[in-house]
Structure 1
Amino acid sequence: MEENDFVSIWLEESGNPAIEELTQLNLDLAGKASKKLADKDLSENDLAIALDINPDEIKRWLAGKHSFSKKTINELSDAIAGYSMKR
């Protein structure tokens, strides 16, 4: 990349709005998932077991350190909803 590359300079000075928006969406979704778990009196470990995923991965998801794909969103939603039917 050239030193005078306009795009690189602009990104360095102002950030990338699309990345910032995606980051905020991921944080919002993580917060909503955490609240749903708390509302249903479920732990991160309960969700990890339901999804057959390492609990550390769930921790990253709920901390907003994971970019949610549509598949992940659906899996989270289904797993949380499924607990209301089991209880």
Structure 2
Amino acid sequence: MEENDFVSIWLEENGNPAIEELTQLNLDLASKTVKTLADKGLSENDLAISMDINPDEIKRWLTGRHSFSIKTIKEISGTLADYTTT
């Protein structure tokens, strides 16, 4: 960081509200996905198999360590919609 980089200094001192909001939205979505899986009697591994994705990636999404993309949200939504409630 340069000495006169006022934006970086401000962000370091105050944080970035847009990033904080996005982080909270991702955590909320992860929580809702976990609840939906439980309601349908599915595991993270079931979701990974259905989506043909490494189970570790599912775990990263659902623990908030990886952000959801619009494409991912659509894929998860479509996959969960294919299951009937057990």
Instruction: Name the TM-score, length of structure 2 as normaliser.
Output: 0.93
Tell me the CA shift for residue 51 of structure 1.
Answer: 0.1
Deviations 1:56-77 (CA, angstroms, capped at 9, x unpaired)? 1110011011111111000000
Match of 1:21 in 2: 21
Equivalences, count = 86
Deviations 1:1-53 (CA, angstroms, capped at 9, x unpaired)? 42122111110100111111111111000000000000001000100010000
Match of 2:54 in 1: 54
Match of 2:30 in 1: 30
Match of 1:39 in 2: 39
Percent identical across equivalent pairs?
A: 77
Instruction: Name the TM-score, length of structure 1 as normaliser.
Output: 0.92
In structure 2, give the amino acid aligned to 1:62: L
In structure 2, give the amino acid aligned to 1:50: S
Q: How big is the alpha-carbon RMSD for the aligned residues of Structure 1 and Structure 2? A: 1.4
* Rounded Cα–Cα distance in structure 1 between residues aligned with 2:5 and 2:61: 35
